[in-house]
Amino acid sequence: MKIGVLCSGGDAPGMNACLRSVVRAAVSDGHSVVGIRHGYQGLLDEHFYGDESTGKAAPVMSARSVSHISERGGTILSSSRCQQFRSDNGVRMAVSMLDRHHFDALIPIGGDGTFRGAAALSKAWSGQVIGCPGTIDNDLIGTDFTIGFATAVQTAVDCIDKLRDTAESHSRLFLVEVMGRHSGHLALYTALAASAEIACVPEVAVIAAKVSVRVQLLKSLGKHSIIVVVAEGNREGGALALQEKLKESDCPYDTRAVILGHVQRGGSPTPADRILATRLGDFAVRSLAGGTSGMMAGQQNGRCVLVPFEETFSKHKPLPEHQIELLDRMSC
């Protein structure tokens, strides 16, 4: 079997570990793997990993070609957000490229946008498509965690631990913006792990006036410093917008806003992400043997599962309610 593998959308720590796993599992099972560069864009452009020396020929990745990449952040295949692939014509072009190069299967690694494309492709193409969930957002239904989420939380927590030092020294309130345009998983987990006082997430309407009342209360309880973790997609705006609103409401603390931004996407993956990536890459390859297609390889309660692509992105992945409550109870 000839398997294509690509990384698409926002890169996530652990994508390389997943790639290594796909290649090594395929080699173990007697398949060949070709890396496609720059996500779906590379499918349209016929751009393969290692083809710099071979022109348009698609070089097969050996087990050795993925040695010592698990510990590296980003993706050695490169990624992209490909507009062209969102159209029917783009999908048709991808199908003809996959057929021209005699691919039997494709393993896309990415988030909801990647799986929307994968769902369309698996309907239009006779080959098999099985995806691995790689995104720092943890916003895919059907897997308890996505590859890259644990590392992004770790990175944000490391930053907030440092911010807490200076916040305590100056008795300040820091609004720390983390990624997540539509999802508050990263914000909530980060807030809990970093002992933040408040989290503002897109799923819950935390209006500035409410934050202000809470901050006044915390001040009266003797808190020297306050950390408010704000998700990028917070309904009343990000950290800067919230800072303006807090200033207008006589905030009892001197405030600073910090946007962590793309720093959360980088860095060496945590062991948890490496293990998850290795497990799911291997499971995706094994699942090809059964003829499966149109599915994401996920992990639920410690078990590997296959979930139809549409299910992974058609509904919002809810935040764990008990964690919202826990954060509230801890900030007294």
Cβ-contact 202, 183 below 8 angstroms: yes
CA-to-CA separations, 332 to 215, 217, 269, 301, in angstroms, rounded:
11, 9, 33, 32
Q: How far is the CB of 44 from ligand F6P (least distance, A)?
A: 19
Instruction: Work out whether 177 is an interface residue with ligand F6P (CB under 6 A).
Output: no
Q: 173 pairs with which residues across the strands?
A: 226, 255
Selected catalytic residue, list 137, 139, 273, 282: 137
Q: What is the DSSP letter of 132?
A: E
Smaller CB separation from ligand F6P, 81 or 219: 81
33: nearest Cα among 64, 56, 8, 1: 1
In the chain, what is the straight-line distance between the N-terminal and C-terminal CA atoms, in Å? 58
Strand 128-133 relative to strand 198-200, pairing: unpaired
Stretch that binds ligand F6P, among 22-30, 32-40, 175-183, 310-318 (CB under 6 A): 175-183
Footprint on residues 254-283 left by ligand F6P (CB under 6 A): 265
Check residue 231 for interaction with ligand F6P (CB under 6 A): no
Amino acid at 29: D
**Would you give the DSSP letter of residue 263?**
G
Contacts of 44 (CB under 8 A, 6+ apart): 82, 84, 85, 90, 93, 94, 97
Q: Rule CB under 6 A: which of 103-142 touch ligand F6P?
A: 111, 135-137
Residue 137 a catalytic site member: yes
Whichever of 177 and 282 has its CB closer to ligand F6P, that residue is 177
Tokens read off for 106: 């494709």
Size of the site for ligand F6P (CB under 6 A): 12
Residue from 141, 179, 284, 319 touching ligand F6P (CB under 6 A): that is: 179
Among 100, 123, 162, 181, binds ligand F6P (CB under 6 A): 181
In the complex, minimum distance from the CB of residue 244 to ligand F6P, in angstroms, rounded to a whole number: 21
List residues with catalytic annotation. 137
Q: Which residues here bind ligand F6P, judged by CB under 6 A? A: 9-10, 81, 111, 135-137, 179-181, 232, 265
